[in-house]
Amino acid sequence: MANHKSAAKRARQELRRTARNSQTKSTVRTAEKKLRLAITENKIDSTKDLLKAYISKVAKMASKGIIHKNQAARKISRLSSQVKAK
């Protein structure tokens, strides 16, 4: 437990940020699963829409610092190339 008032506040803030970050990561993982499923089922129309939404979510995570910008670029690049191949 924190011994100072400022340390206690930092601990509370960290709990809120951790919850928000984990929720965001979960939504991105769900979007990725939906996109991968659409790719395997050759649903070309829905794939493009899902990719656009996925790119937006991942880019926002990178801009907020939840994931590294290179990790975001790598994820986007890999899935974009899979969609393009279909």
Domain boundaries, the chain: 5-85
Tokens of 10: 């930092």
pTM recorded for the entire structure:
0.83
At residue 66, φ and ψ (nearest 5 deg) are -75, -40
Q: Which residue is listed with tokens 């610092």?
A: 65
pLDDT bucket at 10, cuts 50 / 70 / 90: very high
Architecture of domain 5-85: Up-down Bundle (1.20)
Give the mean pLDDT of the chain: 94
| 6 pLDDT more than 90 | yes
Over residues 58-81, the pLDDT tens digits come to 999 999 999 999 999 999 999 999
C-alpha to C-alpha distance for 70 and 77, rounded to whole angstroms: 10
Band the pLDDT of 43: cuts 50, 70, 90.
Answer: confident
Long-range contacts of 4-7 (CB under 8 A, 24+ apart): none
Kindly give, in sequence order, each residue whose CB lies less than 8 Å from that of residue 56, ignoring residues fewer than 6 positions away.
none
Token pair of 67, please? Answer: 């994931």
